Structure 1
């Protein structure tokens, strides 16, 4: 079934979705575009070839003009919840960018509304849709390496070269909310357990152009006994990592070392069983990766009514969102934060 979709949010990232992701999926027909800022719609028309008659400043206007089955929300965070509730209450399925709400209470409201309206709500946790992640998930489930005990993750990027006035330097929690949420989500998926407690320190390096903290370290314990040591930075002068970071997962019988979503090199997974030589895994073929995978998972959920792994429902993503907020709170109050169970 062709899914008629309206996209809300035509900033730079949203326009990238509109031109490079949605048109490449056979299941979707983009019928309208929404942005409260008319200048963003004009850019979409100029650079993306969007027809002016399909552009609106509110979802309600778009719904009145065109029949639609679903809404893709790629607006900035403050608009996520209002747009999602409007779409769900209008009977539309929703695909939302991360983080999908500015508070846990609002996130639960969106999840509750989706359930009451019997609509699909999926969060685009696009890092799930990569070969290394799928391979490591299968390896851990197989039990070949025994129980998982410790995980060390490093994320390093030097995003400090734009003019001081660049908008990216002004965003809220640029590391923990805008970037680390990808890593928090992978922790929840791969460890297969709920986070229990987090201690975190965040700060800016002396040379950072960011207003809010762009560097952090965290220690996160999970219900299954595993403990994650996490380090991330937007202003690191160390060797650059892949976007998913460098992972060292210490298990009962050996270690898994992996990276994913790199700019230049393919995903990689190395397994080192105790007493044996390290070996590289042959990774699965993933025909639709990253946001293409998120969009395809959304299509399958809408067409079948079933959300299957590795897709991320709004309800499932609550624990990822809770971990993100707990890390932010722990950093601000300079003490560990327990997560509600």
Structure 2
């Protein structure tokens, strides 16, 4: 099924709006300006001075506005990068999609699975591409690690640890489930990518050590049953200074023929039972991180082929987060199917247009 209409002039640079002129918005501006495949048509932010400052820092005369639809019409933009706060993602994405723009959205797609379903349904009704930027998927080392898992035969265990002690200040230090909601989706999505499968259930415990500077739970451990009976175990903390892991985590995978390790930064290592330790050559070209997400988005717009981060395909990662939070709150194992089912029921209740209900259900069918 074709989910979106490709761009009509595939050989010309694609004109983008950047929605959100904060720190991450400026990072996206730099990536967009460095790409020969796109050009920045304008910057949208409720704070026009902030938008003008971002435009100046990007080194060009760029149109600014407080309205996505108004600036899209004025500039002839074709696509937008949504770098607003998660609570604004649904409204911004919906406005952009209904204005005829394809949208590349920073994670998470929405604060809840039910809202993510509604946003993905808007994309389908508008015949525009909505893609989530899960930037870790574009790390060369992670792709090499995934290749090693394919060499191990049947994989039984995947473990990820992430221990750091960042002092962010601001809203993160006030969030009730800061680690699970703000950070863990990167690791959960990477696990789906590595195992090429989805979560079935999860048991999770979260807590906040006495010395933590966060108001909410800054540490968590979760055990996921993945498709095929495999297990993915996550353990993390944002209040653990000293011997910090990579932001990408520290990984171990065990399979029928051996074990693979990745420290989150360098080349992964594979130790097979019938040979020595194998280390891949990571001397690859091509963009990584958010630049990799942009490259896949542009390729999808030109080819019409749905990318790995297409909104409906990303909902499985968001569902892992929501299920982990629910498990920690309820103190019991939670099935992902139950999370998706309740999210669909809530989305239909919140969606006044009954004609959208079939679209909402179709999102879960990918």
Whether the TM-score (by the shorter chain) exceeds 0.5 is: yes
CA contact (8 A) 2:185 2:317 kept: yes
> Following TM superposition, where does structure 1 have runs of at least 4 consecutive aligned residues deviating by more than 6 angstroms?
none
Q: Which residue of 2 aligns with 1:328?
A: 325
User: d(CA) in 2 for partners of 1:68 and 1:156?
Assistant: 41
Shift of 1:242: 1.4
Q: Which residue of 1 aligns with 2:183?
A: 179
Which shows bigger deviation, 72-81 or 169-178? 169-178
Q: Which residue of 2 aligns with 1:152?
A: 159
CA contact (8 A) 1:135 1:284 kept: no
Aligned partner (choices 118, 131, 135) of residue 109 of structure 1: 118
CA contact (8 A) 2:164 2:241 kept: yes
1:270-298 CA-partner distances (Å, limit 9, x unpaired): 01112543222223614201111001111
Matched residue SS, 1:85: helix
Aligned length: 327
Matched residue SS, 1:249: strand
Matched residue SS, 1:146: coil
Q: Does 1:254 align with 2:269?
A: no
1:101-144 CA-partner distances (Å, limit 9, x unpaired): 11212211221222222211111001011112211223334xx3
C-alpha RMSD over aligned residues: 1.8
User: d(CA) in 1 for partners of 2:278 and 2:68?
Assistant: 52
User: d(CA) in 1 for partners of 2:163 and 2:267?
Assistant: 17
Superposition pairs of residues 39-188 of structure 1, within 5 angstroms: 39-49=49-59, 51=61, 54-141=63-150, 144-160=151-167, 166-171=170-175, 173-188=177-192
Q: Does 1:208 align with 2:198?
A: no
Q: Which residue of 1 aligns with 2:268?
A: 269
Matched residue SS, 2:122: helix
TM-score by length of 1: 0.90
1:221-280 CA-partner distances (Å, limit 9, x unpaired): 1121111111111111341111211110010111011133x4xxxx22101112543222
Which structure has greater helix proportion?
2
Q: Which residue of 2 aligns with 1:38?
A: 48
User: d(CA) in 1 for partners of 2:45 and 2:236?
Assistant: 32
Q: Does 1:10 align with 2:21?
A: yes
Matched residue SS, 1:243: coil
CA contact (8 A) 2:149 2:260 kept: no
Kindly tell me: are residues 204 and 50 of structure 1, through their superposed partners in 2, closer, same or farther at Cα, counting changes over 3 Å?
A: farther
CA contact (8 A) 2:43 2:55 kept: no
Q: Which runs of 5+ in 2 are unaligned?
A: 1-11, 341-366
Kindly tell me: are residues 244 and 103 of structure 1, through their superposed partners in 2, closer, same or farther at Cα, counting changes over 3 Å?
A: same
User: d(CA) in 2 for partners of 1:173 and 1:47?
Assistant: 34
